Amino acid sequence: MKEKMPLQELGKKLSISLCSAFLCALSMDLFLIPAHVYASGINGAAQLIADILYDWGPVHLPIALLVLLLNLPIAWLGWKKVGKSFTFFSFVTVLFTALFLSILPVHPLSKDILLNSIFGGMISAIGVGLALKFGISTGGLDIIAIYLTRRNKNASSGRYFLVLNGIIILIAGAVYEWQFALYTLISRFVNSYVIDLIHTKYQKLTVITITDKKDELIEAIQNEFDRGMTLIPSYGGFTGAEHCSIMIVISHYELYRMEQLIKQIDPQAFTNILETNKIIGCFHNEEEQRVVQQMKHGESLPVRNSALSEEDYRYFLQLFEARRKKEVEN
């Protein structure tokens, strides 16, 4: 079974959550909110709702409070359907963001809306990209997009981000002046571009690792992920020494965990990470991986309660039963 997260790793992720939240709150209080330009995702939705309630109410609700309230049902959804660790650190980031939004003063550094849009999008992107790079998120749309992608495997999470952010922009343009919606679009473009530079815009990645610790690394990957692997015999170009190349396709949310696992098992391994545009064939999401891991450790589940199809369920059930029988015989 999976081990508990080491204290050093826990501290690192909490530090990343803190830094990411600070940057997101800073971008809103110093650039986006004063310019009437809206942030991405739930933060932008909270900002828009606060403006509408105040201007048309008038009811004054702090943006920090709305960020928390809007993320509560999303956190419940993520805890049940996406993944406990990912959701926990995402919600911790949300808590820190709400805290910093309450502490930091709303103070414009420039009266130029375009400069505010660009720098607001850039600073928040650094925070979001930093979180993604270490296997967490800033909450909100990340969790919703992952859940919707699992419900519709033919769609990408990027499409859902576009739709959900588009709704915010359209409402902002309809309720207020359209120039604010257009400046929000500029901010979103800068935001997406910087996130791509820091992390990756690709939803799937191919990891090829050349290692001398084939058996240990295969066992560790199988215990951590439910991903098929391809083993390729490899030979050093200068030394002629025999190695093994392990090729595996993962989601970009799994990249940090994969990097840490390879470093832990074989610090001398050579790893090449490739951008994957499209996959044809079986690729399990986290919920399906969880079921396969439970079956692997002898926790067989009824088919009707399984995230897997009946065919996949029967396949893995027979596979693990045959493996356990072989281990007993040996």
Could you tell me the CA-to-CA distances from 265 to 81, 130, 213, 269 in Å, in that order?
30, 25, 8, 9
Domain CATH number, residue 222: 3.30.70.120
pLDDT at 286: 63
List % helix, strand, coil for the chain (3-state, nearest 5): 65, 10, 25
Give 47-97 pLDDT, tens digit per residue.
Answer: 888 988 888 777 888 999 999 999 999 888 888 777 777 788 888 999 999
238: DSSP letter: T
Whole-angstrom CA distances from 75 to 53, 95, 164, 259, 311 are: 24, 11, 17, 26, 32
Q: Which of 164, 141, 22 is nearest to 78 (CA)?
A: 141
Residue-averaged pLDDT of the chain: 81
One domain, residues 173 and 240: no
Looking at the fold, whether 47 and 158 belong to one and the same domain comes out as yes
Query: What is the model's pLDDT at position 19?
Result: 93
The verdict on 124 and 229 lying in the same domain is no
Quick check: 5 pLDDT over 70? no
* pLDDT of 39 higher than 60: yes
What confidence tens digit (pLDDT) does each residue in 197-217 have?
Answer: 776 554 678 999 999 998 899
Look up residue 129 and give its two tokens: 């990209």
| pLDDT over threshold 70, residue 194 | yes
**Do 132 and 224 reside in the same domain of the chain?**
no
- Are both 155 and 191 inside the same structural domain? yes
Same domain assignment for residues 242 and 209:
yes
Selection from 206, 286, 204 nearest residue 252 by Cα: 204
SS3 at position 240:
coil
Residue 25 has a pLDDT of 93
How does residue 329 score in pLDDT terms, banded at 50, 70 and 90? confident
- Per-residue pLDDT tens over the stretch 99-122: 999 999 988 888 899 999 999 989
pLDDT of 205: 84
pLDDT at residue 199, rounded to an integer: 61
Q: Looking at the structure, do residues 206 and 299 belong to the same domain, yes or no?
A: no
| Tally of domains within the chain | 3
Give residue-wise pLDDT tens across range 264-287.
Answer: 999 989 999 887 776 666 666 666
Instruction: Please answer whether residues 172 and 184 qualify as being in contact, where contact means their C-beta atoms are separated by less than 8 angstroms.
Output: yes
Per-residue pLDDT of 278-319, as tens digits, reads: 666 666 666 676 777 777 777 666 665 566 677 777 777 777
Nearest by Cα to 286 from 157, 126, 94 = 157
pLDDT at residue 1, rounded to an integer: 41
pLDDT on residue 130:
83
**136-140, 253-257, 281-285, 307-311: least confident range:** 281-285
Question: Any residues with CB less than 8 A from the CB of 144 and at least 6 apart, and which?
Answer: 74, 77, 160, 164
Are 179 and 212 within one domain?
Answer: no
Strand order from edge to edge, sheet including 242-251: 229-235, 242-251, 204-211, 270-276
**pLDDT > 70: percent of the chain:** 84
| Residue 294 structural domain | 284-330
Nearest to 243 by CA among 216, 211, 207: 211
Which of the listed residues 198, 225, 248 is the one where a domain comes to its end?
A: 198
Share of the chain above pLDDT 90, in %: 21
Amino acid 22: pLDDT: 94
Boundary of a domain, candidates 140, 167, 198: 198
Q: Is residue 2 part of a domain?
A: no
Is residue 217 domain-shared with residue 296, that is, in the same domain? no
pLDDT band at 154; cut points 50, 70, 90: low
Q: What is the pLDDT of residue 158?
A: 56
Rounded to a whole number, what is the distance in angstroms from the first to the last CA of the chain?
22
242 and 179 in a common domain: no
Contacts of 49 (CB under 8 A, 6+ apart): 61, 66, 70
On the CB side of 202, CA atoms within 13 Å amount to: 15
Q: For residues 13 and 156, state if they share a domain.
A: yes
From the list 234, 233, 208, the residue with the least C-alpha distance to 221 is: 208
> Which of these three, 280, 295, 316, is where a domain ends?
280
